Amino acid sequence: MSKQVISRDRQELQAADLNHIGDYAKADIEQLTRDSVSNALHYAGGSVTTISTTEASIAPFRLYKEGAAYEQDTANTLDLFTHLPLVTQRCVAITVWGESVETDIEPRDFLIDLTTNETQPDAVAMTRLNKANVNMVPGSESADPQPPTAQQQTLVVALVYLTTGGIDRIEMQTQHLLPNALTAQTRVGKLEVWRKQAEPAISSIATDLASLSMKTNGLAKHHQVVEMAGDIARLKNKLNLPSGLSSYQNDYFLDDLLTDSGAVGFNADVDNGLLFAPDATAAIGMALFNPFEPAVHRTDNNVVLPKYVDKARIQTLGYAGDISISQYQTQTQVLKEYTVPVTRYNYGWRHNYWGGWYSNYWYNRNYHYGYYGWGYGYYGYAHTTYETRYKLETVTNSINGAIIAQTFLVSNSMWLTQCGLQFTQVGATGDVNLIICEADGGKPNLEKTLAQVTVSQADLHKYPVETNVPIPPVLLESGKRYAIAIITQGDHRCATVSGSNYTQGTLFFGTDGEYFQGDLTKDLMFTLYAAQFNQARVEVPLQSISLAGGISDLALDVAQVVPDGTELFFEMQVGGKWLKLGEQDSAHLQTTPDIIPLRAVFMGTHDLAPMLTLTNNAITGSRPDNALVHWSTTRTLPAPSSNIQIQLVVAKWDDINHSLTAELHENGNTHLPATSTLVEEPEGGLFRLTLSFTPTAISSYAVKTIGQRNTANPFSILERTDVAL
């Protein structure tokens, strides 16, 4: 209490002293109500119900006004007969208001003479009551009746809608109820459950926005596509082949199908064009400079992610029973697993963006290429992505046992790192095989397995202790359905929740080796933990590569998974500066250093980051040879020809320091070109070398391409076309 009456022995006691005892307590209670609950008008109780067609009853209630409580401790009957509308409808407001009244009149003696102690009786009120009153305020009669306006200092607890026949309905005004701590606690509990389910999706919105931005960045507008389609149509009409054409063949050097690498003197590379082969090479593994690098998390299978903590992202709550795994049929389950794909990064004199650009721009070939700029000498950079996520292996794995599975929907992409299971019974024997796989048609598909972990029987815990199963980090993409599958021969039971608690998945059990049966009445109790990364950008030093005599080219075969909205790139240290592979400066490796320090840079968000797998012989350093010799496979013509033309499209050509020619080889005979013409192409800064041959009619031949360079940068051959007329 903020105030308190002080009493002492043999002290005069006045009426005000006694009144202050109640007044001080009343003032504190009212202040506490205003500070901690509300200082507005509220009511508690006061439920209004129908008694008859024209009568209603309001239960006992309390009115709270600026912290003071006014009470009505008896039920009141409300007669609405006089307010019935004559023709249409009417709304009557049941209002309550408070007043202070003095009650309990009792006789009391009052001292009127201090000398004689003479007293005089009087009837006085002994109680001051905060009384709550009820009133009815009728509104106007109308086909669409509106609530009447209540007077100030009154509170509407209910609206009674009347028709000519009596009470139509009663609407309690629950917005005026006094806030209740127990009700608030219940609502907060529900909000906390919702938060656990919704927070992962909400917290990763930044990642989804970044992913959406990357997907939409660079998309062509509709009018651009229409204009392009028109141009292509016109080009098709104007494109004519020679009238005497009998056979032609093109090689874009995107693969070695038309290359005879076993021919005598072969010395070339077919890799995004026809390139000079390396003069010397050195290969090292993709490895951390510090095996205990604190900025990353490295798993036993050499998966590297930026440092993270595990956070629950998907969870089913509310224990409702359990399910026995052993009750289902024991069978052999066949798994087919995904593996991490490989992306090739090339940087240096030999490698450039020209090959991919040329085949895409002119021939609409399905080939991935990357271009990050070029400078003097067309010093280039290219990358080839073979798979964007995971690559499905043909190797299978068989596991024997009974199986249950739970599907789930991933609303936001995440790196799954742990799975929490609840076992209500642990059998005496039987390890548990936990599989994370994709779901096709809403059912688990074990032939698209992303991760498989075996948990020994000794490591299983009984509910409510969670059995936490670490999983090698695996990417689960937003908008896709996946499944947790449990295969075991043990007599284990798993906890379940009600099927109405989790609506984004289904519990399945195996009936034979190929079919899953769903159960809509229950779901598996589980928790999926995902990586929450400590930093959005992480730089990780890698092992350096060295080659005696110098390095002018780098090739990286990187086993990686880069989700949308994230980026993984590599940097090299040249001249004491860290330079991103692919920057426009053309002279990064022009000095051919003997040793090159490397590092990987992970860019993402707190919810998502790229992944890198450490592999052997993933990084190759080299420098190109000065000579190029390429042999094609032998061509057989539909008819003998004595007029054959070879065309070579060349990038990075230096007419002073480069030389290039071709020969036809037929049954041990060598045919040299009769004429040679080099012209610059109108687009792209390329050159086309045309070689004409006039041998005695021949039916088959192989093309030998010969190139030379001195100290100049090497050129690249993007296309070879041979036409027999």
The pLDDT tens digits for 565-604 are 899 999 999 888 888 876 644 457 778 899 999 999 999 9
Task: Please report, rounded to a whole number, the percentage of residues in the chain having pLDDT higher than 90.
Answer: 50
Q: Which DSSP string do the residues of 103-166 spell out, in sequence order?
A: EEEEEEEEEEETTTTEEEEEEEEEEEEEEEEEEEEE---BSS--PPPPPTT-EEEEEEEEETTE
Looking at every residue in the chain, the average pLDDT score rounds to: 85
User: Predicted confidence band at 361 (pLDDT cuts at 50, 70, 90)?
Assistant: low
**pLDDT value at residue 227:** 55
- C-alpha separations of 501 from 319, 508, 524 in Å: 10, 16, 11
Residue 353 in this model has a pLDDT that exceeds 90: no
Omega before residue 695 within 30° of 0, cis: no
Backbone angles phi, psi at 541, to 5 degrees: -65, 140
Residue 374 in this model has a pLDDT that exceeds 70: no
Residue 354 in this model has a pLDDT that exceeds 80: no
Q: What distance in Å separates the CA atoms of residue 73 and residue 479, rounded to the nearest whole number?
A: 58
**pLDDT value at residue 155:** 93
Q: What distance in Å separates the CA atoms of residue 525 and residue 455, rounded to the nearest whole number?
A: 17
- Amino acid identity, position 110: F
Residue 709 in this model has a pLDDT that exceeds 60: yes
The pLDDT tens digits for 261-314 are 999 999 999 877 899 999 999 999 999 999 999 999 999 889 999 999 999 999
Residue 76 in this model has a pLDDT that exceeds 90: yes
Q: What distance in Å separates the CA atoms of residue 562 and residue 436, rounded to the nearest whole number?
A: 20
At a CB cut-off of 8 Å and minimum separation 6, what does 519 contact? 499, 506, 507, 508, 509
User: Predicted confidence band at 368 (pLDDT cuts at 50, 70, 90)?
Assistant: very low
**Global pTM value:** 0.62
**pLDDT value at residue 242:** 43
Residue 31 in this model has a pLDDT that exceeds 90: no
**pLDDT value at residue 151:** 87
3-state secondary structure of 464: coil
Residue 379 in this model has a pLDDT that exceeds 50: no
Residue 364 in this model has a pLDDT that exceeds 50: no
Least confident residue range of 116-130, 283-297, 585-599, 683-697? 585-599
User: Predicted confidence band at 455 (pLDDT cuts at 50, 70, 90)?
Assistant: very high
User: DSSP class of residue 448?
Assistant: E
Scan for tokens 């005979």, then name that residue.
Answer: 669
**pLDDT value at residue 351:** 61
- C-alpha separations of 90 from 56, 86, 173, 620 in Å: 15, 9, 17, 88
Residue 345 in this model has a pLDDT that exceeds 90: no
3-state secondary structure of 704: strand
Each residue of 144-156: b (16+ CB within 10 Å) or e? ebeebebeeebbb
| pLDDT, greater one: 365 or 494 | 494
Number of Cβ within a 10 Å radius of residue 633: 15
| pLDDT, greater one: 310 or 388 | 310
The pLDDT tens digits for 634-661 are 999 888 999 999 999 898 888 899 999 9
3-state secondary structure of 697: coil
Q: What distance in Å separates the CA atoms of residue 398 and residue 167, rounded to the nearest whole number?
A: 72
**pLDDT value at residue 370:** 34
**pLDDT value at residue 134:** 94
3-state secondary structure of 615: coil
Q: What distance in Å separates the CA atoms of residue 347 and residue 342, rounded to the nearest whole number?
A: 16
**pLDDT value at residue 714:** 86
Residue 372 in this model has a pLDDT that exceeds 70: no
Asked whether the beta carbons of 559 and 618 are under 8 A apart, the reply is yes
Asked whether the beta carbons of 564 and 413 are under 8 A apart, the reply is yes
- C-alpha separations of 189 from 37, 182, 366 in Å: 19, 11, 54
What domains are defined for the chain? 37-179 (2.60.40), 182-215 (no CATH), 247-277+626-724 (2.60.120), 278-304+342-386+535-624 (no CATH), 308-340+390-533 (2.60.120.820)
Q: Angle CA(380)–CA(384)–CA(387) in degrees, nearest 5? A: 165
**Cα dihedral 502, 432, 335, 418 sign:** positive
Residue 159 in this model has a pLDDT that exceeds 70: yes
Task: Compute the average pLDDT of residues 105-118.
Answer: 86
User: Predicted confidence band at 514 (pLDDT cuts at 50, 70, 90)?
Assistant: low
**Secondary structure of 277-307 in HEC code, one letter for each residue:** CEEEEEEECCCECCCCCCCEEECCCCEEEEC
Residue 357 in this model has a pLDDT that exceeds 90: no
**pLDDT value at residue 301:** 86
